[in-house]
Amino acid sequence: MTDLFALGERRLDWLATRQSTIAENISNANTPGFRPRDLRAFSDVLDAQPVRLAATHPGHLASGAPDASGAHRVAPARSWETTYSGNSVALEQELMRASETNRGAAVATSVMRAFQRMTLLNLKG
């Protein structure tokens, strides 16, 4: 059950980092030559992580997967337009990303709250 909470925590961490990146893009909307950035999709971050199998019996095989860092990689974002100053931040696009991130955080917290309630009900018996 703890792995579900760890996954939810990683999702919320990713969403917080993405929201910070979007805020930086918006704050530099008038900076000449600024290029907006965005994070890799959360599914790509999860796919990059090796699956670690638990050996609960001496006869189990080891996974042999190397331990990888869960760091978020910031990459250039695709933009809708580029102005004469070379700035390619589209405020409408950034606000859509911020709204998407906000909805993702609401869903993640709702799911984690439901898991917490199920865990408490299970413990109470």
Q: What is the pLDDT along the chain (125 residues), one digit of tens a residue?
A: 458 888 889 999 999 999 999 999 999 988 888 888 989 888 887 777 766 656 677 766 554 444 444 456 666 666 666 666 778 888 999 999 999 999 999 999 999 999 999 989 998 87
Provide the domain count of the chain.
1
18 burial (CB, 10 Å; 0-12 / 13-18 / 19+) is buried
CA distances from residue 38 to 14, 75, 89, 122 in whole angstroms, order as listed: 11, 6, 11, 40
pTM as predicted: 0.70
In angstroms, the CA 28 to CA 44 distance is 27
> For residue 112, what are the domain limits?
2-124
How is residue 102 written in tokens? 């906000």
Q: From CA 14, how far away is CA 17, in angstroms rounded?
A: 5
* CB of 56 closer than 8 Å to CB of 81: no
Q: Choose among 77, 64, 83: nearest CA to 35.
A: 77
What is the rounded distance in angstroms from the CA atom of residue 118 to the CA atom of residue 7?
16
